[in-house]
Chains A and B, each alone.
Chain A
Amino acid sequence: MRFLHLADVHLDTPFAGRTEALRLRLREASRDGLARAFRAAVEEAVDVVLIAGDLFDGQRLSFETERFLVKQFRALSEARIPVVYATGNHDPGHSGLRAHRLPWPDSVVVVGEREPRRIPIPGRDGARVGFVTAAGHGTERETDDLSRAFPAPGGELPEVAMLHTQVHSARAADAHHPYAPSELGHLEAAGFDYWALGHVHTRQALCDAPPIHYPGNLQGRTLSETGAKGGLLVDLSDRANPRVDFRPFGPIRWETIEVNGLEGATDLEGLQARIRQVWDGERADDPHGDSFEWIARVILRGSCPLWRELAIDEERRTVAHDLGGRLGALDVTVETRGMHPVTSIEEQRGRKDVLGEALRIVDELREGGSLPGIQSEELAGLDGDGRQDQDAYIRSLLDGAEGDILSRLLDPSAG
């Protein structure tokens, strides 16, 4: 049995791009990614496409997206490729909810309830090639371990399990709500040939034997979701030697690079050359780096002769615009928080004046100290009114504080 494993497409995600054009492109990118994936399924002549939840981002699905979705599924149906779609926490499947009400083609099996269903998968010639057992989220807050209810598989054909779940030990699982939590050990012992998971957006193999995989989301949605995004092409023709290959489908990639060592960047050209150097270094080991549109965040750190210019929004936008052209990116943002004049923070920290004192206070706060003379109501973004909450919040604001103090307190007019 050969199939395409997708998850977390999140159609109609409200992307927070800086411009309307960028947001529009990002919305299109999710659709483009799904269309690419389905084309790949047709080209690869897979036996079935599996979607492990969160096909769309919320109950509200735009009219256009709904039409697009149905059209794509019909195209897959015309290619005689069935789909098994298990709902997730973003697209729960109870009757009355969106996933339940969409006019799916007959070739799409929607598993929208928590009770597992075992679905036979016909091959291209009509003969059965395997089974997919899947359970879906009925509601937005499914808190039970649904994997426990999966029946033990058996028989001569490959058996695949599909679930939208947060496996406790998964990487970056903390970034997601702990819905339908499951234990890796139980999945490993369940007897399936492959676990097709969804929910965690970071692509990863939790286990190789049996293969237990998160394909990650189809298209990165924020600057924290970096790297190539797509689906997994799985071949269980030889059950003893399953093959799992990643296929990139998301047309846009998010990337964040942190650039240090800017002491020699005395002009814009030198600054951009240094950024380009770091960018190229990141891309050198990137096997999928050539065929994407990019949205990049460039964080400039440390001391730089251009700190004063880069503190101005307009200057940063100019640098970002130029970088966008040089990197061939859809959008580039340049952040300079903490950038400061060319001097050593460590040396400045030893001063016997108020500057040295301020830097030492930052150290104390990082180490858990409290900042006197400030009230909780003075802070616009503080949740909670306890001292610990306030201290933690202040700590969260200290990124680059030393550089900001230096850049503000050191008098540039001093000889």
Chain B
Amino acid sequence: MEFERLRIGAFGGLRDFDTGEEPLPRLVVVHGPNEAGKTTLFSFLTSVLYGFYPASRDGNPFTPWGGGNIDCGAVLRLADGERWEVHRRLMGSPSGSLTRGTTQSDLRNHTLPCAEHVPRTVFREVFALTLSELAHLEGESWARVQDRLVLGMGSSDLASLRQVVQDLERDAGRLWRPNRMGHQRIRDLRDQSRELRIRRGEAAEVDRHMREKAAERARLRGELVEARKERQACKQYVDRYRALVPLRIQLERLDGLLEDVGPEDDLAHLPSDPKEALDELADDAAKLARHIEEIEAETEEPTERVEAFGPEQKLLLDKAGRLREWIATVTSMEPTRVRVGQLEQELRDLERRGESASRELFHATWGEVDKEILNSVSIGDLRMALAMYREYVEERRIALEAVRTEAERKESALPFHKHLGPALLVAGVALVAGSSVFLGAPLTIFGAVLAGIGAALVGVMIFFQRRPADRSAEMAKERLTRASDAEEGAREEVAKKVIALPMRGPIVERPTDDLANHLERLQDVDSQTQDRTQLLAQLKGELDGAGAQLQEIAGDLEGLPPDPAQAAHILDGRIREAERAKESARGARRELERLARDRARSEDELGRIQSNVTLLEGRLRDIGKGDLERGIRLARVRLEARERADQLREELEFSHDDLDEIREKIRIAEDAGEDWAIDEDAIEKRKAREEEMVLLIEELGRRVESVERDLGDLGSKATVDAVDGEMAALGERLAEAVEERDRLWVLAAILREAERRFRFEHQPDILRAAGTHLKTITDERYDRLFLGDDGEGAFLLQGPGYAGPKQVGEPISRGTREQVYLAVRLAIVDFLDGGGERLPMFMDEAFVHWDGERRERTFDLLAAASANRQLFVFTCHDAIAASLHERGALRLNLETRL
């Protein structure tokens, strides 16, 4: 693969750079002064092949200095002749296109497919490594370069193999080395292990000591127990003679008293003075008997009170609620009762008034008068009729006066009896009328006779009057007649209005206004009578209802008057009395209950006393062998003995808290047959021994405490199992360290072996090719290049012009070293891209330190190499550019500084 054309729109300081349509040759020399853009052009070519790195506009150092975006491209021709056109831009993000023939593809920032067989970093460091940089590497750096160029075959992602091996061996050596040089962790751990074994022995010794101490403590505790026992025995002995003997005497006395007491059961709960107790019991029994009699007497009065509250009263109280309601009702009806009396009185008054008025008007009693007819008379009409009648009477009186006047004039002609006939007539008519109603037939006949006589007399008179004597008289008479007729008509009209009433005749004959007034009064009387009668009936009904209600409520009660008011009064009294009786009975019952309880208690108490008396007498008789008095006497003696025994025991117990224990000690001593005789020598010896034992106990206690302290101290020290654990942990760490050390060592050995194999497999070809190139450059002074076996990986030179292998480095000249590495580099790149496109190679100022002959031979070599690979040589030296140009190189001049 080779570049045919380079086009730069903008890349770093380069702008509008174009090599033109003429394809670039395989050998190109880029000539220009320093900072003319040679490095920029080199980076441009790398970017065309591999894309931008860094891939951001801001981060890329070749973003155009004057602003804008990177814009560049190239035309490539591949080994098979295919022509590729590449265009790349770096704006916000990288973009690119690849045109192959008529097909364009999006390249983005990817590596060109024709360069993928060589990684970008390898390309930059091997195909474009500047020899001037190599020339300055010395010593260790030389080895790194050799690693990178030869062992790593340019694999820039690998660390220096030599360094890695050294690191592994160093790390392994820190853990362990076969020799004793330096600090070694494993040896330290083994030293620690030895120390731990010593500590383990110490811990075992501590454990043994602890067991010994524990055994000693057990022994001392045993001795302590024995000493305490002996001290206790001595103390008991001394106590016995100092305290137990007097006490034993007291106890013996106590036992004697208890013997006098005899069986305790006989005296259990006996009074201290049985006789006095029996007397007191008899007194109490008598008092109780009297009290019971009093209770019986007190019972009579309340019993009567209870009985006084009988069934009738109970019945009454059962109904007391309703009865009280009824009484209240009856009491509230008292005004009604008064009103009834008033109404009755008023009715009687009205009756009298009616009767009186009736006597004036009627020939019948007031009771006989038909009230309906009476009330049917219109008083108004009657008054009008009476007024009419009064007028006609006056008219007739006037007419009569006239007649009389005329008559007086002819007085003499007229018999005295001229008035007799009408009088008789009227009387007779009135008698007929009145007799027909009240007097019977005989008077009617008599009246009719009288009326006949009267009529005859009237006729006579009329006859005489009709005598043609005097016309005026005659007219007066006629007027009188008319007036009389009218009067009669009016009177009849009045009479007609009261015709249905049994009116007295005179009243009808000569009716006056009193007729209307009387009738009106009578109608009023009747009206009032009716009203009051109706009201009376209503009120009486109410009163009768109360009576019926009483009957319903208290029909079974005897002795109640029918009158509700009286009955209410009586009932109220009875209820109050029944309530008092009931209350009294209740109180009486409580009293009776109290008396009953009192009696029951008294009887119980009496029974208990009698029982106690019986029991006590029985027990006393038992004590007295059937004789009560003797029993009383003996019991008293024994009780007194017991009292003294109790006092003695109390005193002993007060002065000796452990009396039972002491008694037990005495018993044990007695059982053991101890001698209770006092031996002062023996007591003193025992006291002295007790003191010895006290001292011994204190000493043993101190020794036990000391041993326990020792045990505590020993227990705080490392135990064997703890040291064993530490040893185990150390052993584990030691095993881990040994394994880790050997592992690191083995890894280092693996890498060394890998290096050896690789060198064996690949270096011969590369070095052979490099030796060939070096032979050309040095004009056969050096014809072989190889790596030494000293493990340092140094290049060695050999050739016919040199006596023996010569290590590359000082004192070999810098130019020779550069020539070696150029030769190696030319060999390596052929190895690296041997299976793919041959990538261009760049050299920058590689020949400055070289002598002219070797440089010329090198240019010949490069010209020959350009047959297989495009070469770009960057130089600021015109002579170098010219020399290469002479060998067919295209000269690209970067004339001006950027």
Contact A373 B747 (CB under 8 A): no
Interface status of A287 (Cβ within 8 A of chain B): no
Contact A409 B161 (CB under 8 A): yes
* Chain A 353-370 interface 0/1 with B at a Cβ cutoff of 8 Å (1 = within): 111011001100100000
Residues of chain B contacted by A23 (CB below 8 angstroms): 722, 725-726, 729
Contact A17 B159 (CB under 8 A): no
Size range of the chain B interface in the assembly: 35 or more
Per DSSP, chain B at the interface is helix
How far is B159's CA from A414's CA once the two chains are assembled, in angstroms? 8
* Chain A 364-386 interface 0/1 with B at a Cβ cutoff of 8 Å (1 = within): 01000001111001111110000
- Name the one of A354, A361, A382 contacting B158, with C-beta atoms under 8 angstroms: A354
How far is B725's CA from A373's CA once the two chains are assembled, in angstroms? 39
Return A380 CB to nearest CB of chain B, in Å. Answer: 4
How far is B731's CA from A15's CA once the two chains are assembled, in angstroms? 11
Residues of chain A contacted by B754 (CB below 8 angstroms): 354-355, 357-358, 361
Interface status of A312 (Cβ within 8 A of chain B): no
Contact B722 A358 (CB under 8 A): no
Residues of chain B contacted by A117 (CB below 8 angstroms): none
Interface status of B178 (Cβ within 8 A of chain A): yes
Contact B722 A20 (CB under 8 A): yes
Interface status of B207 (Cβ within 8 A of chain A): yes
Residues of chain B contacted by A382 (CB below 8 angstroms): 742
- Name the one of B156, B175, B186 contacting A414, with C-beta atoms under 8 angstroms: B156
Contact A380 B152 (CB under 8 A): no
How far is B719's CA from A381's CA once the two chains are assembled, in angstroms? 30
How far is B719's CA from A17's CA once the two chains are assembled, in angstroms? 16
Interface status of A387 (Cβ within 8 A of chain B): no
Considering the complex, which residues of chain B in the window 95-146 have a beta carbon less than 8 Å from any beta carbon of chain A? 120-121
How far is B742's CA from A65's CA once the two chains are assembled, in angstroms? 39
Return A315 CB to nearest CB of chain B, in Å. Answer: 17
Interface status of B678 (Cβ within 8 A of chain A): no
Contact B746 A394 (CB under 8 A): yes
Contact B158 A374 (CB under 8 A): no
On whether A405 and B747 interact (CB within 8 A), knowing A358-B754, A361-B753, the answer reads yes
Contact A63 B121 (CB under 8 A): no
- Name the one of A20, A63, A354 contacting B152, with C-beta atoms under 8 angstroms: A354
Nearest CB to that of B756 among chain A residues? A373
Interface status of A352 (Cβ within 8 A of chain B): yes
Most chain B CB atoms below 10 A, which of A351, A361, A365, A381:
A381
Contact A401 B153 (CB under 8 A): no
Q: Which of B13-21, B482-490, B636-644, B732-740 contacts A (4 or more CB under 8 A)?
A: B732-740
Contact B757 A64 (CB under 8 A): no
Contact A16 B728 (CB under 8 A): yes
How far is B721's CA from A65's CA once the two chains are assembled, in angstroms? 10
Nearest CB to that of B755 among chain A residues? A354
Contact A16 B750 (CB under 8 A): no
Interface status of A261 (Cβ within 8 A of chain B): no
Nearest CB to that of A408 among chain B residues? B164
* Chain A 58-90 interface 0/1 with B at a Cβ cutoff of 8 Å (1 = within): 001011110000000000000000000000000
Contact B719 A405 (CB under 8 A): no
Nearest CB to that of B831 among chain A residues? A352
Considering the complex, which residues of chain A in the window 1-53 have a beta carbon less than 8 Å from any beta carbon of chain B? 12-18, 20, 23-24, 26-27
Nearest CB to that of A357 among chain B residues? B754
Residues of chain A contacted by B732 (CB below 8 angstroms): 16
Interface status of B751 (Cβ within 8 A of chain A): yes
Contact B726 A20 (CB under 8 A): yes
Contact B155 A379 (CB under 8 A): no
Return B875 CB to nearest CB of chain A, in Å. Answer: 29
How far is B157's CA from A401's CA once the two chains are assembled, in angstroms? 19
Interface status of A209 (Cβ within 8 A of chain B): no
How far is B715's CA from A354's CA once the two chains are assembled, in angstroms? 61
Residues of chain B contacted by A401 (CB below 8 angstroms): 743, 746-747, 750
Contact A373 B728 (CB under 8 A): no
- Name the one of B120, B204, B745, B758 contacting A353, with C-beta atoms under 8 angstroms: B758
Contact A378 B178 (CB under 8 A): yes
Return A398 CB to nearest CB of chain B, in Å. Answer: 8
Interface status of B727 (Cβ within 8 A of chain A): yes
Residues of chain B contacted by A353 (CB below 8 angstroms): 151-153, 155, 158, 758
* Chain A 335-363 interface 0/1 with B at a Cβ cutoff of 8 Å (1 = within): 00000000000000001111101100110
Considering the complex, which residues of chain A in the window 181-196 have a beta carbon less than 8 Å from any beta carbon of chain B? none
How far is B724's CA from A14's CA once the two chains are assembled, in angstroms? 5
Contact A405 B155 (CB under 8 A): no
Contact A371 B746 (CB under 8 A): yes
On whether A405 and B721 interact (CB within 8 A), knowing A352-B153, A380-B738, A415-B121, the answer reads no
Residues of chain B contacted by A24 (CB below 8 angstroms): 722, 725
Q: 10 new A-B pairs (CB below 8 Å) besides A354-B751, A411-B157?
A: A62-B719, A357-B757, A357-B758, A371-B753, A380-B742, A401-B746, A409-B158, A409-B159, A414-B156, A414-B158
| Subset of 17 A-B contacts with CB under 8 Å | A14-B721, A14-B727, A60-B204, A60-B207, A63-B207, A63-B719, A351-B155, A354-B751, A354-B754, A355-B754, A378-B745, A397-B743, A397-B746, A404-B747, A409-B159, A410-B158, A414-B156
Q: List 3 A-B pairs, minimum CB-CB distance, nearest first.
A: A14-B724, A16-B728, A381-B738
